[in-house]
Amino acid sequence: MSRLDLDEAPVVATVGAAMFADAITAQAAHVIAVDWKPPAAGVEESLATVTADPRFADANAEAVGRLSAARAHWLDVRPAAEVLGLQRGEFLHAGPPVDWANACGPLRGALIGAMIYEGLVDDVAAAEKLGASGGINLAPCHSRGAVGPMAGVVSASMPMSVLADPQTGKQGYCTLNEGLGKVLRFGAYAPEVIQRLRWLQDVLAPSLATVLQRHGPVDVSSLIAQALQMGDECHNRNRAATSLLLRDLTGDLIESGLPTARIAEVFNFISGNDHFFLNLAMPAGKVAADAARDVPGSSLIVAMSRNGTEFGIQLSGTGDEWFNAPAPEVDGLYLSGFGPADANPDLGDSTITETMGIGGMAMAAAPAIVRFVGGEPTEALRRTQEMYEITMTEHPMFQIPALNFRGTPTGLDAVMVARTGVVPAVNTGIAGKEPGIGQVGAGLVTPPMSVFTDAVRGLAARVQRAA
Amino acid sequence: MSAHVEVRAGTYHDSVTLMLASQQVADLPGVRSAMVAMATPLNLEVYERLGFDLAAVATASPNDLVLAVEADDEGSLAAAVSALEVQLTAKAAPSGGAAADAVQPHTLAAALRDGRGTLALISVAGRFAFVEAMDALQAGVSVMLFSDNVSVEQEVLLKDEAARRDLLVMGPDCGTAVVGGVGLGFANSVRLGSVGIVAASGTGAQQVSCLLDAAGVGMSAVLGVGGRDLSAAVGGRSTLAAMKMLDEHAGTDFVVVVSKPPNEAVAEQVLAAAEKMSTPTLVGFVGRGREDLTALSNRALSMLGGNVEPPQEWLVPDRQPQPGFIRGLFSGGTLCDEAMAIAAEALGPIASNTPLEPDWALPADLHDATHLMIDFGDDQLTQGRPHPMIDQTLRLERIAEESKDPDCAVLLLDVVIGHGSHPDPAAELAPAIVAAREQAAADGRDLAVVVCLVGAAGDPQGLERTATALNAAGASVHLSNAAAARVAISLVEGNTR
C-alpha cells in the first residue's frame, strides 16, 4: 500500500515559490515552509552526486550512529612516548598538517617550549634554528588518535590522559591542562611555563595515575552529560564538569597514600583551573569521532580543527584527506590591554567538542557565557536550534534543559552545511599572535565555507570513482 | 592625563561581563586604557602592564573587583567611569520571547524531521531540486516537483528511490496536483468524487478535471507525473506507480490517464497495466491526429454513464468571418499544442515558438504575417519572470500590439484560473480586450476575441464571474479549449498567407 494518503488533506512542506505555500494555506491546509537559499556557488552538482549515491543515507546513519553511541572512560595518565610511541624530536600539533615555515606564532612558540622542555635545545634561538632547519618531525595530533587544545603541541615526555570506549576499547589521548595565563598551548615558553610542564610530568601525572588506579575508570561521557545541565558547554566553559570530576576523585585522592602536601597541590591545581576538564572532554570527542571514520559515502565531519594557519576538516567518507582554508579571525572579547590586532587566527583541536555535539553546538546549555557570541541567552538558544539544521541526529545522552532536554545537535554534515550556508557554531579561546604571549581573549569563530564545499567535492569525486 | 583606580571588596562579576565592560569603556573617546577585572594574580599582571600603579591595589584579593581607567582628561575619565558603572549595573533587556520561536527550517530534511509533513512541494530552480526531493523521499514523503530543468538521470534516480519506498514523485515540471482535496501548484477547486486522474501534462489535467467538474463529476485525486515520464528514458515510472496507487485506493472508482502520445514501448506498458487494473481505466493519448482533451473528457463521462453535453459557452452574437489570421496567445503549453493541432488540420501550418513541426518555427521576434500561436509559458519566455498564469504583462502587451496589426482577425486566448494563478485575470484582460477591439474598430476592423477558460466553479477567482466579465468585454468564452479553437478557425477559414 502506498504511503501517499489520498484521503486526508496533506500537511505540505514547501520549498521554493512562496505563492504555492500561500495557495495551500488559502485552502485551509497546513504548510511547513522552508526558508531556502541556494547552496554555495558551484557545489550543486557535487551535492547531487553525493546524495544520489545509493550508500549515502545508510552510510550517514552508520557513521553518526557510531559517533553518538561512543562513550569515553578516563583510564590512566601515561607518557606520550609510551602510549603514542612518540620519539625524541617528534612533535604533534593541533589542526591539519603544517610545517615550521608556515606555522603561526603560537604554534612556533609552543614548539620552542617543547624543544626546551625535551632538552633538545638550551634556548629559544637554538630552538628556532632547529625548527627552521627541519630538525624536528611534525604531525597532526589527529593523525595519532590524539587531540590538543590551542597549539596542541605534544612531545615524547608529556603525560597524556588515556581515554577508551568501554565497549570497543578504542582509545583517545590528550595532554593535561596547564591552567590559564602563560601556558605552552597559547605559545608561551618562558621558564615558568617549562617549569609547570615539568611539574605536570613529575607531580600531577603520577598522582593522577595513582588516583585513577584506585578509583577505576572515570566516566567522562557521563560527566559531560551532567555538566551540560549545570551550565557548561564543555568547550569554553568547563567549570561544572571540573567540579564534578574533582568531587568524584577527591575521596580516592585523600586515600591514595600520597603525602598530604602533594594531595593539596593536586587538589588545588585542579580546583583552581576551570578548564581542567576540557582536556578530558576533547579526547572523549576524539574517541567518538574516530569511531565514525571511514564509512564510504558518508558526509559526516569526523575532524574539524585549526593549526592557526589553516582551518581544516575531514569527513568519514574521505579517509585521511584534509580540506583546508586559511584560518579565520576570532570574533571575540579581549582581555584588557589586548585587541584584534594582537590575535592569532583560529587555533586548536578543541573543535573536536563541536564535532561530537557539545561546545558551540550546545551553546543553549551555557547561558553564563553566551555574551561571547554577542548575545543574550535567547541568541544562544537560537544558535543551538539552528545547528539541528546541519547535524544528522540528536545526542542520546547529552541534553539541553532549556530545550526541553532535547539531545544536543550531533553529527555535523558537510552536505547540510554546503546546502544551507549555515556553518558550525564554534566557541574558542584566542591566542596572541606573537610567540610567548599566551591567551588574549575568547570568542566565536565562523568557519570558512570553502572547507565544507571542498569536502563535498572531494566526497563526490570518491563517489564517482566508486560507481 | 588622568587615571582612576578603585578596589571594590567582595564584589563579584563573571569574567565575560567584565571583559565586555572593559572593552566598551576602552572604546570611548579619550580613554587610553580601561580594565575592570577580579584581582587575580593574572589580572594584576595585566593591570601592571597597562601602566597602572600596583600600590593602589596592594590589598586587593582575588575576590575583589578592580576598576582602572586612564583617560586623556578629567572629562573623558568621568564619562568613562560612569559608563563603567552603567555597564556593571545594567539589567538585561527583555528578550521579546525570541527564544520560543523555533528556527525556520532551511531544508526539506529539517522541515520533515518531526514527522508532521505528509507531502513535499518543490519549486526551487531545477539544479537545486534533486537534493530537496531526495530529502523528502528519505523522510518517507511523496514529492510534487514543480521545478523544471531537472536532468533525466536525476528524474530516474528520484523515481527509483520513490519506488523503493512506495512513494510517488509527481514531476519534474509538474504543474498541477490535487491530493486529499488540496490543490497543489496551479490547481482547480474541483469537486470531490471518485475519479482519479493521472496526467503527464499540467494544463491537460486541469482541462479534463474542470470539464468533468462542470458535468457534475468529482475527483478523488489528480496526480501529475511530469511531461517526460512517458519517455523511453523514464519509462512511465510515475505513471505506472500512480495508476497502481489509484487502483488500490478505495475512494477511486474510475481512472483517467492523460498524456501526449508517448514512446511506443512505454505506451504498451501503460495500456497493459490499465488492462490489469481492477478499477475501470481510460487511457487517453491526446494530440495531433488523435482525440482532443474535450473528446477524452466526454468519453470518460459516457463511460461513467453521465449525460454528455457540450461544455458551457458564453457567445458573442452575429460574429462574421473576417480577413486575416488567428493570433493565439497562450499560457498553457498543452492548450496551445491542442489549439495548434486542431487549427493545423483546418488551416495548414501554424507558426509558433513551440511549433508542431520544425519548419513552422516563429522567428526569434515572435512575429510573422500568418496564423501563429505563442506559448508564453514556454521556458524561453519565462526566464527571469513569473509564469504567464500569474503575470499577464507579456500577453497584455501582445494583445495591444495585435490590435494594431491589420493581419490579425482573431485573438485566441486561454485563461487558466484556480489556486496559484493570477487572483483576478479578468480584471486585466477585460479592459485589454475592450481596448483592443476599440483600436481595431478605429482602424475599420472587427477584431474577434475567443477565450478558452479553464476553471472550476469553486475556484477563488469565480468561474462564472470571470466568464461573464470577459464575455461582456466582447470575447466569446468556452470551457472547452477545442471548442474555442474551432470557433476561432470558423472566423478565418479560407484565409491564407
- pLDDT by position in tens, chain B (length 497): 789 999 887 667 767 778 788 888 888 899 998 888 888 888 888 888 888 988 888 888 877 889 999 999 999 999 998 888 887 776 544 433 344 456 889 999 999 998 999 999 999 988 999 999 999 999 999 999 999 889 999 999 999 999 999 999 999 999 999 999 999 999 999 999 999 999 998 899 999 999 999 999 999 999 999 999 999 999 999 999 999 999 999 999 999 999 988 999 999 999 999 999 999 999 999 989 899 999 999 999 999 987 789 999 999 998 889 899 999 999 999 999 999 999 999 999 999 999 999 999 999 999 999 999 999 998 788 777 788 998 999 999 999 999 999 999 999 999 999 999 999 999 999 999 999 999 999 999 999 999 999 999 999 999 999 999 999 999 999 999 999 999 999 999 876 55
The A residues from 29 to 48 touching B (CB cutoff 8 Å) are 29-30, 32-39, 44-45, 47-48
The B residues from 24 to 53 touching A (CB cutoff 8 Å) are 26, 33-37, 42-43, 45-47, 49-50
Element (H or E) spanning A138, and its range? Answer: strand A137-140
Chain A residue numbers touching B149 (CB-CB < 8 A) = none
Q: In this complex, do A180 and B42 lie within 8 Å of one another by their Cβ atoms?
A: yes
Query: Which of B49, B119, B220 lies closest to A337 in CB terms?
Result: B49
Query: Which of A1, A7, A48 lies closest to B248 in CB terms?
Result: A1
**Cα A389 to Cα A106: distance, rounded to the nearest angstrom:** 34
* Prediction ipTM score: 0.88
By the CB < 8 Å criterion, does A401 face chain B?
A: no
∠ at Cα B419 (B416, B423), nearest 5°? 70
Of A343, A438, A335, A339, which is closest to residue B22 (Cα–Cα)?
A: A335
Q: In this complex, do B182 and A378 lie within 8 Å of one another by their Cβ atoms?
A: no
Averaged pLDDT of chain A:
94
Chain B residue numbers touching A402 (CB-CB < 8 A) = 99
Q: In this complex, do B98 and A378 lie within 8 Å of one another by their Cβ atoms?
A: yes
By the CB < 8 Å criterion, does B180 face chain A?
A: yes
* pLDDT value of position B353: 96
By the CB < 8 Å criterion, does B125 face chain A?
A: yes
Q: Show Cβ contacts of residue B213 under 8 Å, excluding neighbours closer than 6 positions.
A: B188, B190, B191, B219, B456, B457
Chain B residue numbers touching A181 (CB-CB < 8 A) = 42, 45
* pTM over cut 0.80: yes
By the CB < 8 Å criterion, does B95 face chain A?
A: yes
Q: Nearest C-alpha of chain B: how many angstroms from A193? A: 14
* pLDDT value of position B339: 97
The A residues from 365 to 394 touching B (CB cutoff 8 Å) are 368-369, 371-372, 376-379, 381-382, 385-386, 388-389
Residue of B nearest to A45 (CA): B127
How confident is the model over A61-105, as pLDDT tens digits?
A: 999 999 999 999 999 999 999 999 999 999 999 999 999 999 999
The B residues from 252 to 311 touching A (CB cutoff 8 Å) are 252
* pLDDT value of position B58: 86
Query: Which of A5, A181, A372 lies closest to B180 in CB terms?
Result: A5
The B residues from 129 to 148 touching A (CB cutoff 8 Å) are 130-132, 134, 136, 138, 140-142, 146-147
Return the residue matching grid coordinates 523503493. Answer: B164
Of B141, B99, B102, which is closest to residue B122 (Cα–Cα)?
A: B141
CB pairs under 8 A between A and B: 232
Q: Nearest C-alpha of chain A: how many angstroms from B449? A: 30
Q: In this complex, do B134 and A378 lie within 8 Å of one another by their Cβ atoms?
A: no
